[in-house]
Amino acid sequence: MTPEEFRRAGHRLIDWIADYRSGLADGPVLARTGPGEVAAGFPPEPPAGTVDIDELLELLDQVVVPGVTQVQHPMHFGWFPSNATLSSVLGDLASSGLGSLGISWESSPALTEVEEVVCDWMRQLTGLSDAWSGTIQDTASTACLVALLTARERATEHAQARGGMPDAGGAPPVVYTTAQAHSSVRKAALLAGFGADHLRVVGEDAAYAMDPAALAAAMRADADAGRVPAAVIASVGTTGTTAFDPVAAIVEAAAVHGAWVHVDAAMAGTAMLVPECRHLWDGVEGADSVTWNPHKWMGTILDTSLYYVRDVEHLVRVMSTNPSYLRSNRDGEVTQYRDWGLPLGRRFRSLKLLFHLRLDGIESVRERVRRDLDNARWLAEQVDAAPGWEIVAPVPLQTVCVRHHPVGAGGAGGGLDGETLDRHTLAWVDEVNASGDAYLTPSVLDGRWMVRVSIGVETTERVHVERLWVRMQEAAARAGAGIASSAGG
């Protein structure tokens, strides 16, 4: 494709996206396609020849769009927000258009230096001290793996330079987290080679936050048995209920054993853009690494995970590669981001943040954060005041976790046995989700299903939360009536 062909097709695509974004609130939230339906819209063999942009956009309209769950929809309250602000879409387009290659500083000095600048801006905007140095990873899962790899090497005094993890058989390193930690934590611990036997699930308090006394006891027991407390993953805003592990107390407990503290603030990092939320990660300055995802609530499009460390030298020592074909006259003077993470090649991802920050501005993000926190408080109040409804976890952020106990079935509310309650919960949430009117994520807490209402889509205003609350009550009432009639029949 020549630049002139690109110009014509590009204008067409920009209009298509603008129209798509303008209209998406009119369609369902959850994709309506069944398994294999999208794939069936494509030939099984690679097509010969070419099509023009209009034909391709027609294919998108007919086959692809119906298969997209609309996480940009104002009635999307599922998982966590995954905002894709249009300013950051432009930044991503600029990155692709530049066609820049990040394999060394020399291959694109601008790619490296803008990433340094923007990561430092984001550090300042979240109130972190200048002891931290940042980079962009694809996701918090990868950042967690990087954290555990560097923790492993610190605990084993760089066993990778010798016999690796098999050498650590006599004093295996151990990782600590809670049952509320993101699934990527367990995955990272297993992939980093620690083994399931060396992953401790530490107890929680009533707010689903890590109990630092339980952590200290677990570490002491391991140390006494000759194992090495190597790393603690502190969740700052858990996926289930946005619980906040107490970072300061965790840092203190970890320090006794020299264990690495990684703060996973994937969702809640965005809240740190507003000073009044920063108490939620008090003690973060004592951690060794921090990650959070602008591609969630803040809305700098996927894949934009910020990863900050205090000891860059250690990170580089664990991750470094320096083959002759990447040697440069500038080695030693410049940052080589290839040695700050897993992949060698990188995109010019900082442009997504740059465009977002410059075209929309940080104040617009802060306004949204405060709006969403306010909407969550409002919803929590409604739920709290409504008969039969229960808030099942504290609401420190923008996610409200609820259960509904149908009145008249199995006694006056709350009297259902657990399995019937589970069926009821899944019945009403499935009805909401299947209708396409809104999307909510069911999740298990204390062994029973509950429903997470995660507020924070860019276009979600109070009116949408109000509409959701009405919809939830209707669905719960209908499902409850079903239980009552089956109990009576």
Q: Which CB atom, from 16 or from 378, has the smaller least distance to a copy of itself?
A: 16
Task: Say whether residue 245 binds a copy of itself (CB under 8 A).
Answer: no
The CA distances from residue 116 to 126, 187, 317, 334, 338, in Å, are: 16, 29, 19, 11, 13
Contact predicate 130/144, CB 8 Å: no
For a copy of itself, the closer of residues 63 and 484 by Cβ is 63
Q: What binding mask, one character per residue, do residues 119-158 give for a copy of itself by CB under 8 A, x or -? A: -xxx-xx------------xx-xx--x---x--x------
Binding status of residue 452 toward a copy of itself by CB under 8 A = yes
Residue 167: other Cβ atoms inside 10 A: 13
Given the complex with a copy of itself, which of 344 and 407 has the nearer CB atom?
Answer: 344
Choice from 28, 229, 240, 396 touching a copy of itself (CB under 8 A): 240
Site for a copy of itself in 195-214 (CB under 8 A): 195-198
Site for a copy of itself in 156-175 (CB under 8 A): 159-170, 172-173
For a copy of itself, the closer CB: 6 or 486? 6
Is 429:403 a contact under the CB 8 Å cutoff? no
**Contacts with a copy of itself in 52-71 (CB under 8 A)?**
52-53, 56, 60, 63-69, 71
Provide the residue type at 126 as one letter.
Answer: T
Burial of 62 (0-12, 13-18, 19+ CB in 10 A): exposed
Amino acid identity of residue 328, one-letter, is S
Query: Per-residue x/- mask for a copy of itself, residues 266 to 305, rule CB under 8 A?
Result: -----------------------------x-----xxx--
| Beta strand spans in 45-93 (E) | 76-77
Burial 189-227 (b: 16+ CB within 10 A, else e): beebbbeeebbbebebeeebbbbbebbbebbeebbeeeb
- The two structure tokens encoding residue 401: 């976790």
3-class DSSP assignment, residue 175 = strand
Q: Whole-number minimum distance, CB 403 to a copy of itself, in Å?
A: 14
| Footprint (CB under 8 A) of a copy of itself, residues 372-431 | 430
Of the listed pieces 216-224, 308-316, 407-415, 444-452, which binds a copy of itself according to CB under 8 A?
Answer: 444-452
User: Nearest-CA neighbor of 177 among 198, 146, 155?
Assistant: 198
Q: How far is the CB of 409 from a copy of itself (least distance, A)?
A: 24
Nearest CB to a copy of itself, comparing residues 55 and 224: 55
Q: How far is CA 478 from CA 173, 201, 233, 403, 474, in A?
A: 52, 39, 42, 15, 6
Nearer to a copy of itself, 49 or 489 (CB): 49
Residues 356-375 that bind a copy of itself (CB under 8 A): 357-363
Is 103 a binding residue for a copy of itself by CB under 8 A? The answer is: yes
Q: Judged by CB under 8 A, which of 75, 86, 251, 290 binds a copy of itself? A: 86
What whole-number distance in Å separates Cα of residue 375 and Cα of residue 457? 12
- Name the minimum Å distance from CB 27 to a copy of itself: 13
